[in-house]
Chain A
C-alpha cells in the first residue's frame, strides 16, 4: 500500500530524473533483455541490440505510461485501463507478475545507476511498491 510519504518520494524522484526519462526506458528494456534473456521471447520482431531504434521508441512508450501512472498514482486502475486491456487480451505477458517484475528490476537498476546514493532505501521501497502496483493493474484482467 502506497503511503503519502511513498507518493511524495515517487513524485520527487520522477521530477528529478525528468531530463533522463527519454533514455531511461530504452536502457531499462535493454538491460532486461540482456540480464533476463527469456524476456526477449515477447519481442521476436525487435532488434534488441544496444541503440536499436525499436528499443528506444518502445522505451519511451514505457516511460510515458509510467509518467501517467505517477501523475495518477491514486487511481492507477483507471489511468492504466487501456494498457491493462492490452496486456490481458493482446500481449499476454505470462506469467503476469513474474515477467513484469523483471522489467521492474531493470527499471530500478536504471534509477539506481542514475541516482546513486539518492536511490535511498526509502525511495527504493516506494518505487518497488509503485512498480508492483502498476504490474498488478496491468495483470488485473488476465482472468
Chain B
C-alpha cells in the first residue's frame, strides 16, 4: 500500500479543490494528443484530430478529457485505496481498449504541466512532488491488471 504523508495529502486535495475538472481534463487530453500524436490511435472515432486547433476544439476530446479527470478525482477521494478504485478500469484498458500502460505515464506528466501553467508559483516543488507521486501511483494501478 502507498504511504501518503499528511502534507502530501493536503497538497493534493487543496490543489484539487481549485481545479476545474472539465477545463483541466479537456486541456490535458488535448495536449496528450498534440504532444504525443501517436496516442491519437486510441481515438479514431473522435473525428477531426488533424491539427492542434482541431483537437482543442473537438467536443469529443473535451468530453472524454472531463471523464478521465473525473475518474482521477476518485483516486484523490480514495488515496489509501487507489489499487481497488482502479481495478475495473485497469481490466478495461487492457482487455477492451488495448492501451499500452506507458501512455498513462505520458498523460500524468502532461497533467503536471497543465497544473503548473495554471497555478504558476502556487505549484511549488513540494506540490510537484506530491502530484508526481500521485500520477505515478495512478498509472501503476491502471497497469496492475494487465496480463
Contacts and interface: CB of A to CB of B under 8 A. Distances in A.
Interface of A: 30-31, 34-36, 50, 105-106, 108-109, 112-117, 119, 121-122, 124-125, 128
Interface of B: 27, 30-31, 34-35, 52, 55-56, 109, 112-114, 116-118, 120-121, 123, 125-126, 128-129, 132
Contact of B117 (A31, A35, A112, A128): A112
Contact of B123 (A36, A109, A115, A119): A109
Nearest to A128: B35
Nearest to B109: A105
A62 to B, nearest CB: 16
Given A30-B125, A35-B128, A109 B52 contact: no
B51 to A, nearest CB: 10
A26 B116 CA distance: 17
A136 B61 CA distance: 31
B117 A115 contact: yes
17 contacts: A31-B125, A34-B129, A35-B129, A105-B109, A106-B128, A108-B116, A109-B112, A112-B117, A113-B116, A113-B117, A113-B120, A115-B117, A117-B117, A121-B56, A124-B31, A124-B34, A128-B35
Given A109-B112, A113-B116, A121-B52, A31 B31 contact: no
List 7 tightest A-B contacts by C-beta distance, closest first: A112-B116, A112-B117, A34-B125, A125-B35, A109-B116, A35-B129, A35-B128
